[in-house]
Every structure is written in structure tokens, then in C-alpha cells.
A = this chain, B = another copy of it.
Amino acid sequence: MTRPAVVLLSGGLDSATCLAMARRDGFAPYAMSFDYGQRHNAELAAARRVAQALGAVEHRVVKIDLAAFGGSALTDANIAVPESGVEADVIPVTYVPARNTILLSYALAWAEVLGGHDIYIGVNAVDYSGYPDCRPEYISAFQTMARLATKVGVEGASITVHTPLIRLTKAEIIQAGIALGVDYGLTVTCYQASETGEACGKCDACRLRAAGFAQAGVPDPTPYRAA
């Protein structure tokens, strides 16, 4: 029987690549997305398209309530989304408190119910160096905690949080995904995409993504809206 792996799937470029990699690694991928009070739903629509296109065994969307805490431009309507670039060594205002910890905890719960020991998350320590919960030492500490937290861990299994993108540049991620048949036209990265998935072309996420396609030497399939 193919072993299950829970893949965190946002609908963006990185997590779509991760899903394709989980399949390549021989896992039966179970995709998990979160409805956490995003400002738009284009992201979740993209996650559904990607899960289907890349053959997820199942796709679950879990409603969570990050917006209740505020504290991030992505969930708090009172903080503006920056368009001015990422400053080095500063934690960006788009950082959501404890976000990856919450998402990985849900993935861990589903993995345990499925009898699985594997989770994929598309964190990247190159482009998102300012986010504490995208660093390898954080992922490693989560694995240690996860093994102690769970029935499968107590019974002797390791829990592995796979982070195949962690050291890749955006261009390398795109090249790897294209080799695995990922259709990036299905993905949405923009922090302020329209309901139908058109990107603004201005926010940090759009700029990183566009630069990635340019550096990869691959045509950018992103639908941009008129200025």
C-alpha cells in the first residue's frame, strides 16, 4: 500500500510544487488547505484546482480562526499589505503569529488519523528569511515535538516534516515543478488577487514570483489584471 502524506496546500506556486514532489517521492498525497479569513478566496479556488490536477487522494479545507488574533497584514484589515519590498533581517508585517505551527499541528492530526508519518510543507528559507517559522531549526524542533505528541510517535515511528523547497530559489522551485508537470497557471500567489485569480503584479509575493519565472527562463503564466 502506498504510504499517505499530508501536504499543506495554499494554492500558491510553492505548495503546488510540494504536492508534485510528494507524489514523486512515492506517497499518496492528502492535500490540506485552510480557510483562515484570507482577504480573498482565489487562493482556495486555486488549491482545489491544483489538488485535482496533481492527483491528491483527498483535499480537505479546514476553517480556522487566525483573524481573531490580528497582528498580520494578511488577516488584519487594519494593516496595509506592503508593496515596497522585503527588508533584510526584519520580520515582515505579513508574518502571521504562529501560523506554520498551527497549520502543521492540523496536518499532524490528520496524518495521525490516516496512520501516516509524513507531512509536506513548502516553506522556503531563501525568499522568506524573515519568517522564524520557515527556518530548518524550527522544522526540526517541530518534528521532535510531533514525535512526542502522538500515538504513532510513542509507538516508535518518526514523524517527518518534509521541506523539499527550503533551500531552493524561486527559479529552482519553478524548474523542479515544471519537470514534474506542474501547471503554474492554476496557482495563485498574489496577496491581493481578484476573485477570479488575477494578480496585482505589485505586492511582495507577485514580485518574487515574477522574478522567479524570469530567472528560470520560463514564460510567466500568471494572469495579471489591468493596472
- Which A residues are closer than 8 A to B by beta carbons? 60, 62-66, 68-71, 91, 95-102, 105-106, 108-110, 112-113, 132-133, 135, 137-138, 141-142, 144-146, 148-151, 153-154
Known: A98-B108, A98-B150, A132-B154. 14 other contacts (CB 8 A): A64-B65, A71-B113, A95-B151, A97-B110, A98-B105, A98-B112, A101-B105, A101-B149, A102-B106, A102-B109, A132-B151, A132-B153, A135-B148, A138-B148
14 contacts between A and B (CB under 8 A): A60-B68, A64-B64, A69-B110, A70-B113, A95-B151, A96-B109, A97-B108, A98-B106, A98-B146, A98-B149, A101-B149, A132-B148, A133-B149, A144-B144
Residues of B within 8 A of A96 (CB): 109
Determine which of B110, B112, B141 lies in contact with A141 in the assembled complex, contact meaning CB atoms within 8 Å.
B141
B109–A69 CB distance below 8 A: yes
